[in-house]
C-alpha cells in the first residue's frame, strides 16, 4: 500500500512536470466524454419526458383506415366501441394539422369540449384559460412566441380560401412544451371548420378501459371486429417514442465514433512518441533500480489520472451543456428539426448505466490504448543509456 | 580481502547489421570493499558496457557477475533489479538527474519503489547532500545545478539506498579542476568508508590520484597490461 501511494505520488508529480501534454490529453478526453455523455443524458431526459407524455395518453386509440390511409370515424363505429366489453368510456376526437403560411409551419389543431374532465389539468399548464366557446383558442408557447401572441390577442387562421378569426384565451407554459409547442386548442366546431371535418365524423377515438391490464385483449377484439381500423395501445406509442429517440441518439453517437477513433489514435501517438525529457526520466528510473512493473504502474496511474480527470470534466461539461444550456444543436438532432420547436427545461436525468457506458467507451479504450506504449516506454534501451544517449 | 564485486569471463556481443561486434571480451576482475579502482581506456573501449554488466543493467552474452557473493546473471529480471538496487549504486554520465525535479526529489527517487522516503531516509538524504556540499540546494530544480553539482547530486542519489558498491561512468568529464577535485575527494572518502568503488574514466586527474588502489586498462573490450 505504501509503495502504491508512493508511485501514485510520483505519477502526480510526473504529470505536473509535463502540464502541456497532460492538459491536452485531459481536454481531448473531456471533449469525447462530454459529447458522448451529452447524447446519453439528453436521450435519457427526453425519454423520460416522452414516457410522461405517453403515460397521459389513452389506453387505446382507434383510427379508421381506408386504402391504407387514415380515414374519419363514423357514428356507427363509435356506437360499437362504446358498447364493447371492457371499455369504460370513449372520447371521439377531432384534430389535425393546419399549414400556416405566415409561419411556414404546420399547426396541430385539437378540439376540446368545454366540459372535458382533462381540462382541469390543462388549465394548470396555461397562462390564461382554456377555450370555452366558439372563436376561442389556447396555443402553445413556441407558436405564441413566433407570432408575438398573448392572451387577449386575435389570430386569423386559414380555412381554404378564407380566414377564421380566433381570440387567444390562453398560452401553454414551457413545462408543456414537448406536448404543446405547436398546438392550438379550440372548440369542436372551430376544429371542424379549420380542418374541414363534417359533423358526426371524427379523427380518432380515445378509449379508456375498465382494466388497463387487459389492453392487449381488448385491442385484439376491436381489431377483429373492425378489420379496417388501426388499434394502437399506449405501450406501443411509448415504445415508438423510445425507438425514435434511441435511433436518433444512436445515429448521433455513431457519427461520433470516428472522432473517438481519431482521439484514441492521437492519444496513442502522443503516448508512444516520448519526448527527450520523458526518455531521460525513464532511463533514470531504470538506472536507480525501478523495476519494469514499477515503471508500468506509475505510467498506468498517470494515464488513469488523466482519463478519470478528463471523464469527470466531460461529464460535468455535459451536465451544464444539456441541463444548463438546453443542449443547443444536439437537442435538434435528437428531437428533430421543426419551425415550432419545444422549448422546455430538461430535468437532470443521470443514471449509473450512463456513467458506466461513458467509462466503457472512453476511459477503458484510452487506458488500454495507453498500455502498449507505456510498456514500450518502460522497456528502455539500456545500451543507449550507457552511451549517454537517453 | 574478499571480492564484493566480481566479473568472471564477461563477454558482450551485439549485432551491427550482419556483423557481430564484441564490446567486452572475456573480462574477469574483482573489487573488494574499501577499494577505489579506476577502469581506464579510450572512448569505445567497452568501459560503459562493462560497467552496465557489473551493475546488472546489461545482460552479458557469456560469463557471470557476482555481487555480494551472488550470481546475478541467472536471476530473474525482478530479482536482479532488487539485488542490484540493494547492493550497487550507479552514476552514469548521460543520466545524471531528472531536470524538472528538485535535488532532494532526485536523491529520493530510488526509494519510491520501497514505499517512498521515511523519516530516517529523509535524514540520510539530507546528510548525504550536506556531505557533498549540496544541502543549500536541496529544493533547487536539478536543471539549475552546475556540472559538478549534478555529479555530486547523482552520487548522493546512488548512495541513498546504502549500497556497498558504487559504479561511476566518467564522473569528472566536463568538470573544472575544482569541481573534479570535490568529486574525487568524495569517492576517496567512500572507499575509506568501506565501499567498493569502480570508476570508468580516461581522466588523468583520477588515474594519478594516490587514493586509487588499482588502475585497470581496457582496450577493444579486453583488459590489458598498461
Assess whether pLDDT exceeds 90 at residue A148. no
Is domain B33-59+77-213 given the CATH code 3.40.50.300 in the classification? yes
Q: Where are the domains of chain B?
A: 33-59+77-213
Q: pLDDT class for A371, splitting at 50, 70, 90?
A: low
Contact A287 B90 (CB under 8 A): yes
Query: Which among B78, B84, B92 has CB closest to A386?
Result: B92
* CA dist., res. B64 & res. B51, Å (int): 13
Residue ranges of chain A whose CB lies within 8 Å of a chain B CB: 2-3, 5-7, 9-10, 13, 17, 277, 280-281, 283-294, 382-383, 385-390
**Per-residue DSSP letter, A325:** T
Nearby residues of A79 by Cβ (< 8 Å), 6 or more positions away: none
- Cα B172–B174–B177 angle (5° rounding)? 65
Nearby residues of A12 by Cβ (< 8 Å), 6 or more positions away: A305
Write the pLDDT tens digit of every residue in A25-45: 888 888 888 888 888 888 777
Torsions phi, psi of A68, nearest 5? 80, 5
The residue among A289, A301, A387 with the most chain B CBs within 10 A of its CB, best to mutate, is: A289
pLDDT at A34: 86
Chain A residue nearest residue B200, CA to CA: A386
pLDDT at A377: 63
Write the pLDDT tens digit of every residue in B79-99: 888 888 889 998 887 667 888
Assess whether pLDDT exceeds 60 at residue B47. yes
A328 CB neighbour count, 10 Å cutoff: 9
Q: What is the distance in angstroms between the Cα of A37 and the nearest Cα belonging to chain B?
A: 37
Chain A residue nearest residue B47, CA to CA: A386
Q: What is the distance in angstroms between the Cα of B32 and the nearest Cα belonging to chain A?
A: 22
Assess whether pLDDT exceeds 70 at residue A69. yes
Q: What is the distance in angstroms between the Cα of A28 and the nearest Cα belonging to chain B?
A: 25
Chain B residue nearest residue A388, CA to CA: B94
Q: What is the distance in angstroms between the Cα of A9 and the nearest Cα belonging to chain B?
A: 9
The residue among B24, B60, B96, B113 with the most chain A CBs within 10 A of its CB, best to mutate, is: B113
The residue among A2, A288, A299 with the most chain B CBs within 10 A of its CB, best to mutate, is: A288
Task: Find where cell 557481430 sits.
Answer: B20
Nearby residues of A273 by Cβ (< 8 Å), 6 or more positions away: none
Residue with the larger pLDDT of the pair B76 and A126:
B76
Distances from the Cα of A323 to the Cα of A178, A316, A317, A326, B188, angstroms:
15, 10, 10, 5, 70
In Å, the largest CA–CA distance within chain B is 54
pLDDT at A340: 44
Residue with the larger pLDDT of the pair A47 and A137:
A137
Q: Which residues of chain A does B85 touch, with a Cβ-Cβ cutoff of 8 Å?
A: 288-289
Average pLDDT estimate for A60-68: 86
Assess whether pLDDT exceeds 90 at residue A126. no
Q: Which three cell numbers stand for residue B183?
A: 568529486
pLDDT at A339: 46
Contact B85 A9 (CB under 8 A): no
Assess whether pLDDT exceeds 90 at residue A258. no
Task: Find where cell 492519444 sits.
Answer: A267
Query: Which among B48, B100, B113 has CB closest to A289?
Result: B113
Assess whether pLDDT exceeds 50 at residue A253. yes
* CA dist., res. A235 & res. A129, Å (int): 31
Are B111 and B160 within 8 A, CB to CB?
yes
Query: Which among B57, B78, B111 has CB closest to A287?
Result: B57
The residue among B78, B79, B83, B95 with the most chain A CBs within 10 A of its CB, best to mutate, is: B95
Residue with the larger pLDDT of the pair B6 and B181:
B6
Q: What is the distance in angstroms between the Cα of A383 and the nearest Cα belonging to chain B?
A: 7
Assess whether pLDDT exceeds 90 at residue B105. yes
Write the pLDDT tens digit of every residue in A178-214: 667 788 889 999 999 999 898 889 998 888 888 888 8
Are A336 and A46 within 8 A, CB to CB?
no
Residue with the larger pLDDT of the pair A345 and A150:
A150
Least confident range from A127-131, A137-141, A253-257: namely: A253-257
* CA dist., res. A179 & res. A95, Å (int): 14
Contact B115 A3 (CB under 8 A): yes
Q: pLDDT class for A385, splitting at 50, 70, 90?
A: low
% chain B with pLDDT above 70: 98
Contact A17 B100 (CB under 8 A): yes
Contact A7 B77 (CB under 8 A): no
* CA dist., res. B153 & res. B177, Å (int): 18
Are A225 and A81 within 8 A, CB to CB?
no
% chain A with pLDDT above 70: 78
pLDDT at A267: 65
Q: What is the distance in angstroms between the Cα of A384 and the nearest Cα belonging to chain B?
A: 9
Least confident range from A352-361, B36-45, B132-141: namely: A352-361
DSSP lists the bridge partners of residue B71 as B66
Terminal Cα distance for chain A, rounded = 31
Residue with the larger pLDDT of the pair B34 and A48:
B34
- Cα A206–A207–A211 angle (5° rounding)? 150
* CA dist., res. A106 & res. A338, Å (int): 9
Q: Which residues of chain A does B99 touch, with a Cβ-Cβ cutoff of 8 Å?
A: 277, 280
Q: Which residues of chain B does A389 touch, with a Cβ-Cβ cutoff of 8 Å?
A: 94
Q: What is the distance in angstroms between the Cα of B207 and the nearest Cα belonging to chain A?
A: 21
Q: pLDDT class for A389, splitting at 50, 70, 90?
A: very low
Strands (DSSP E) found in B77-221 = 88-91, 165-169, 196-201, 214-219
What H or E segment, with its residue span, contains residue B39? strand B36-40
Least confident range from A111-115, A197-201, A317-321, B52-56: namely: A111-115
% chain B with pLDDT above 90: 35
pLDDT at A379: 62
Amino acid at each position: 500500500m505504501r509503495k502504491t501511494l508512493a508511485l501514485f505520488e510520483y505519477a502526480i508529480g510526473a504529470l505536473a512536470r509535463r502540464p502541456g501534454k497532460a492538459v491536452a490529453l485531459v481536454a481531448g478526453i473531456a471533449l469525447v466524454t462530454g459529447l458522448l455523455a451529452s447524447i446519453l443524458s439528453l436521450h435519457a431526459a427526453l425519454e423520460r419526458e416522452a414516457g410522461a407524455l405517453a403515460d397521459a395518453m389513452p389506453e387505446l386509440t382507434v383510427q379508421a383506415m381506408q386504402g391504407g390511409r387514415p380515414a374519419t370515424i363514423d357514428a356507427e363505429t363509435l356506437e360499437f366501441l362504446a358498447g364493447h366489453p371492457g371499455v369504460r368510456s370513449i372520447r371521439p376526437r377531432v384534430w389535425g394539422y393546419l399549414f400556416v403560411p405566415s409561419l411556414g409551419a404546420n399547426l396541430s389543431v385539437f378540439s376540446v369540449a368545454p366540459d372535458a374532465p382533462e381540462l382541469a389539468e390543462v388549465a394548470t399548464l396555461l397562462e390564461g384559460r382554456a377555450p370555452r366557446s366558439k372563436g376561442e383558442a389556447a396555443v402553445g408557447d413556441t407558436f405564441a412566441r413566433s407570432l408575438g401572441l398573448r392572451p387577449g390577442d386575435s389570430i386569423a387562421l386559414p380555412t381554404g380560401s378564407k380566414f377564421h378569426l380566433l381570440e387567444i384565451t390562453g398560452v401553454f407554459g414551457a413545462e408543456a412544451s414537448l406536448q404543446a409547442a405547436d398546438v392550438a386548442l379550440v372548440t369542436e366546431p372551430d376544429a371542424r371548420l379549420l380542418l374541414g371535418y363534417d359533423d358526426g365524423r371524427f379523427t380518432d377515438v380515445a378509449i379508456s378501459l375498465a382494466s388497463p391490464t387487459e389492453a392487449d385483449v381488448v385491442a385484439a377484439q376491436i381489431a377483429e371486429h373492425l378489420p379496417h381500423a388501426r388499434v394502437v395501445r399506449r405501450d406501443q406509442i411509448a415504445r415508438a417514442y423510445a425507438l425514435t429517440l434511441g435511433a436518433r441518439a444512436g445515429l448521433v453517437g455513431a457519427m461520433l465514433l470516428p472522432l473517438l477513433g481519431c482521439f484514441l489514435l492521437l492519444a496513442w501517438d502522443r503516448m508512444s512518441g516520448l519526448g527527450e525529457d520523458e526518455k531521460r526520466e525513464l532511463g533514470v528510473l531504470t538506472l536507480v533500480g525501478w523495476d519494469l512493473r514499477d515503471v508500468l504502474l506509475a505510467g498506468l496511474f498517470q494515464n488513469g489520472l488523466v482519463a478519470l480527470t478528463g471523464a469527470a470534466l466531460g461529464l460535468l461539461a455535459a451536465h451544464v451543456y444539456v441541463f444548463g444550456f438546453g443542449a443547443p444543436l444536439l437537442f435538434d438532432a435528437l428531437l428533430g428539426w421543426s419551425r415550432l420547436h419545444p422549448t422546455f427545461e430538461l430535468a437532470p436525468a443521470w443514471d449509473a448505466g450512463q456513467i458506466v457506458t461513458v467509462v466503457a467507451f472512453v476511459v477503458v479504450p484510452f487506458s488500454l490504448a495507453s498500455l502498449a506504449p507505456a510498456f514500450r516506454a518502460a522497456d528502455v534501451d539500456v545500451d543507449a543509456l550507457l552511451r549517454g544517449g537517453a | 580481502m574478499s571480492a564484493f564485486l566480481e566479473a568472471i569471463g564477461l563477454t558482450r556481443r551485439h549485432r551491427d547489421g550482419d556483423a557481430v561486434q564484441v564490446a567486452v571480451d572475456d573480462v574477469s576482475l574483482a573489487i573488494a570493499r574499501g577499494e577505489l579502482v579506476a577502469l581506464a581506456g579510450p572512448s569505445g573501449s567497452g568501459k560503459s558496457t562493462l560497467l552496465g554488466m557489473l551493475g546488472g543493467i546489461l545482460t552479458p552474452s557469456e560469463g557471470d557477475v557476482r555481487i555480494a557473493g551472488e550470481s546475478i546473471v541467472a536471476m530473474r529480471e525482478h530479482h536482479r533489479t532488487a539485488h542490484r538496487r540493494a547492493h550497487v549504486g550507479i552514476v552514469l554520465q548521460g543520466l545524471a538527474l531528472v531536470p524538472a525535479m528538485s535535488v532532494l526529489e532526485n536523491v529520493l527517487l530510488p526509494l519510491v519503489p520501497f514505499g517512498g522516503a521515511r523519516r530516517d531516509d529523509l535524514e540520510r538524504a539530507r546528510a548525504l547532500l550536506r556531505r557533498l556540499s549540496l544541502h543549500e540546494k536541496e529544493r533547487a530544480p536539478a536543471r539549475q545545478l552546475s556540472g559538478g553539482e549534478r555529479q555530486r547530486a547523482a552520487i548522493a542519489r546512488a548512495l541513498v539506498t546504502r549500497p556497498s558498491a558504487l559504479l561511476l561512468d566518467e564522473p569528472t568529464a566536463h568538470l573544472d579542476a575544482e569541481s573534479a577535485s570535490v568529486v574525487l575527494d568524495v569517492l576517496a572518502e567512500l572507499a575509506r568508508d568501506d565501499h567498493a568503488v569502480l570508476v570508468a574514466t580516461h581522466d588523468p586527474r583520477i588515474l594519478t590520484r594516490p587514493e586509487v588502489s588499482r588502475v585497470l586498462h581496457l582496450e577493444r573490450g579486453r583488459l590489458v597490461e598498461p
